[in-house]
Structure 1
């Protein structure tokens, strides 16, 4: 499959080599192919590797199967995809609760399979949501954009905000939890607060509304540890309602929803803000 990438350069002036290597994160092997095949032009003209590229220049690159060998994923059902935002390179969808982000076994069909069917080609996971969690989730539509989105995630430039219905009441409107999180050696499904061996975790909470026995909080992730919000809230005595691992009372869905994603588009530097509606939070909260 041929992938053609066209965009107006949003980055500061530099050489072609620097642009491809530093800003676009194109691997050395693929940069070599672009050069030898003359698969890159600036403002419609062939380039020298040391040619200057100015902000606002029109860039076109052509990638083939030698650059990115095709990957095939079984397609799911495109009708199950609730698309919130889509462009040539990425897609954000509203994940339902009870569905895995990606399959763990070859025979499984997960959200990634449904999204790939919707797009019509194999897509790639940028970040994950627990199976029980609903809300906005980002996928790359091609292997070129994937490392750029991964860098945004690693550099904490993708802001993720969640709604959680937590048990009990909080002592103040804003709280920051920094407890380190590690594996629970007694239950491989779970994570625990582990001050000695755990990984750094940072969650900022803002109280939105109080109910007789629960509180609605906005949670902003500064790090992305497995079960981070669930573990932090449970550790401080405010387990999320319906949490099958960390809340004693069962019976309803996990009341955790990724309601907002904010990031700069890596090819335009445009600020993208996507919010995901949730019927559970609109209609299912206590009055």
Structure 2
């Protein structure tokens, strides 16, 4: 894989070494290759490691197979991709319910395969949605951007907002659920609240609307990203998601959970990105 990254430096003044280590998170081995091959250019000039990079300078990095070996995956169907945002480095798509984000087996076809076919290159999963959940999913289009965007995710700088249709009438307008979540020892598919051994899980919930059939439309914002976090927290508090095959008895045509919005600051441009994913089910199919 040979590709060139060109960005206009949005960061404070610093050395090339600081830029590559602290802002672009390029691994030591790859930084070594960039230096020995003279694959770093600032404003078209090949420079040394201690040269200063000013805000607004044009940065050009050349990567080849020694840096990032070629990775291929099975071809998907680009016509199945509902693209919400795309640039040279990132792509956000609207995942339909019932589709996996990535396959569990090497030859299994999932959303990742379709997105890679749409982008014309192998993409990389940044975060996941359950198979039954629809909505906005973020992918990296090259291995260079992956650790940078992963750091945003780890530092809670990517805001994820979900819509959920739940059983019951949520009594308060807002709440924060903080119960720790762990594995269910009796059912490997499930998670449960485990305050002693579970992992920290924080979900902010806001009531959007009550319906006459004893259901509530709820907005959920994740501060952490545990498996089944929204599903487990809502079920634990007595508001299981409608159509949830694991945590609810109330059936529906699908699990009523949708990743409605993604918000973050683009790490290479510092532009504010806010993307919303539509859902015909939630916009037209909710109770009146």
Q: How far does residue 36 in structure 1 lie from its aligned partner after superposition?
A: 0.9
Deviations 1:143-187 (A, max 9, x none): 000000100000000000000001001121001000000000000
Alignment-derived partner of residue 283 in structure 1: 284
Deviation by residue 1:121-140 (Cα, 9 ceiling, x = unmatched): 11000000000000000000
Mapped partners of 1:106, 1:62: distance in 2 = 29
Runs of 4+ in 1 over 4 A off after TM superposition: none
Q: Does 1:140 align with 2:140?
A: yes
Q: CA deviation at 1:46?
A: 1.1
Give the secondary structure class of the aligned counterpart of 2:205. Answer: strand
* Distance in structure 1 (CA, Å) of the matches to 2:88 and 2:216: 40
Count of aligned pairs between the two proteins: 287
Task: Map 1:49-88 onto structure 2 (within 5 A).
Answer: 49-88=49-88
Q: Name the CA distance, whole Å, in 2 between partners of 1:227 and 1:132.
A: 11
Question: 2:161·2:262 contact (CA, 8 Å) conserved in 1?
Answer: yes
CA contact (8 A) 2:181 2:199 kept: yes
Shift of 1:107: 2.8
Q: Structure 2 length normalisation: TM-score?
A: 0.99
2:121 is matched with which residue? 121
Could you tell me how far apart the structure 2 residues matched to 1:108 and 1:246 are? Answer: 27
2:202 match: 202
Instruction: Give the Cα separation in 2 of the matches to 1:161 and 1:84.
Output: 15
Extract unaligned runs of 5+ from structure 1: none
Q: Are the equivalent residues in 1 in contact too, given 2:234–2:240 (CA < 8 A)?
A: yes
Matches of 1:243 and 1:75 in 2, distance apart? 31
CA distance in 2 between partners of 1:108 and 1:63 (Å): 29
User: C-alpha displacement at 1:2, in angstroms?
Assistant: 1.4
CA contact (8 A) 2:74 2:107 kept: no
Find the aligned partners of 2:256 and 2:249 in 1 and give their Cα distance. 14
Aligned partner of 1:265 in structure 2 is 266
TM-score (norm 1): 0.99
Once the two structures are superposed, residues 9-67 of structure 1 have per-residue CA deviations (whole angstroms, 9 ceiling, x without a partner) of 01111110011001000011111111111111111111111011111111001000111
